[in-house]
Structure 1
C-alpha cells in the first residue's frame, strides 16, 4: 500500500512518504527524477539485476533518473521517502551553474549523503504540517537538492578515482558468496556501481590483482581447504568452487600453488 501526497505533478519538487509491503517493489519509468530515502530499520532486499541480497538501512538513498525504472524484492515491509524532481529544474540549475553537460543524472544505489537527507527531512516536516512555508520554501529545497545532485555528478571523476572501501567490500563479499557460480565482469561492476572499465582498473589498484586472477585464487584457496578438511571428491570440490571439472581445477591448482588435488588428498591420510 502506498501512502503518498496529492501534490500536483507540475511542481518542481514533491515529496511522498511511502509504506511498501513486503514483496516486489517496482518503479516504472517516469518523466521525473526520483530520489528515494530509506527511513525504516534495516531491510533485507534482493536485486535480480545483480543477483544478490542487499541490506538497506535508514538513510540509504536510491536515485532513479527520469526515463529509468527500478525495483527490488523486499523481505519485510518498509517505509521510504520519495522525492520527485522535474528534469527542467535540474537543467535550469545546471545552466545557471555553468554545468550544462551534467543535465543527465546517473542511477545510484545505496548512496549516503547527509545533505540530501537533511533537505528531504525539512521538506517532509513542512509537508506534514500542511506546508505553511509555501511554494517558496519548496522551491528553495528543490533548488538545493538539484545543486547537490549536480555536485555529485561533477565530482564523480574525483570521487570515483578508486573503489571506496564499501564498494570493494561489496565486490569481495559477492565473490565469496557466489564463488560456485559463473561470475562476469558485468555482474561485478553492477555490484560495485561502476563501469566495467573502471572496475578493471580500480580493482587491480586496490588488490594488486586483476578481477579474473583474484577470483581464480579465491576459488583455488577454497578448493584447497575443502580438499584438506572434507570428504568431498575432487569432482565435487571442483563443482563447489566454480571450476568446470576436476581437470580444470587440477590445471589451475598446479599452476598457481604447485599442488594437485590428488596430492592434497593424500596429505590427509
Structure 2
C-alpha cells in the first residue's frame, strides 16, 4: 500500500509480524518496543488472559493517550538527566494497558456488531473525510454522499462497522485531536478549540470534561511541561 503519513500517526506492528517500508522524504520516527512478557503481566493484572487477546497490525492509529505517552518517553530520553527508572516503567505499563484496551475493544465490537457494514473503501473514505474536516461543521448528508449511500443507511452501517454512532465517532476524534494539540503545541486553548471544530473554548472544555473527565487546563498541566524540549528537537 501507499499512503500519506501525517504528524501524529501511529503504527502498531505485533511481535512476529514482518514489516518493511520506504519513506519518500526525510522523516523522524519514535520507535518503541517492549517484551511480550510485559503484555502478559499487565493483562494478568487486568484480569485478562493474554493468550486470548489478538493483537493485529494497525496502521495510522490516532490515539491521544498513546501519543502523549510517546512524547513523555521522548522527553525523558532527551533530558540531560534521565528520570528514575520507575517513571519509564510506569509509562511502559500505561502503554501496555492502552494496547490491550484497543485490542479487546475491537474484538467486542466485532462480536457485537451484526448486520451489514460499510466496505473497507467506504469506511476509509469516510474516516479520511472526517480527519480532513475536523475543523469544519460536519453534516450527515455530506458524509453519506462521500460514502455513496443515504443518510439513514449510513447511520446503521457506520455503527455496525465501528461500534459507535457517527456523532460519537466525530466527537471522539475532535477530543483526541484537541488533546494531542494541547500536549504537543503552544497554541492557545481558544485557538485549539476552533481548530478542532468546537464552537468555542467552553464548548470544548465541557465536552472534554464529560468524555474524559478532565478539562483542557487539567490536561495541559502535566503535559505542557515537556513542550520546550520537544519543540527544540522536532
- Tell me the TM-score normalized by structure 1: 0.41
**Which of structures 1 and 2 has the bigger CA Rg?**
1
Greater relative contact order (Cα < 8 A, sep 6+) = 2
Greater share of helix? 2
- Tell me the TM-score normalized by structure 2: 0.47
Greater share of strand? 1
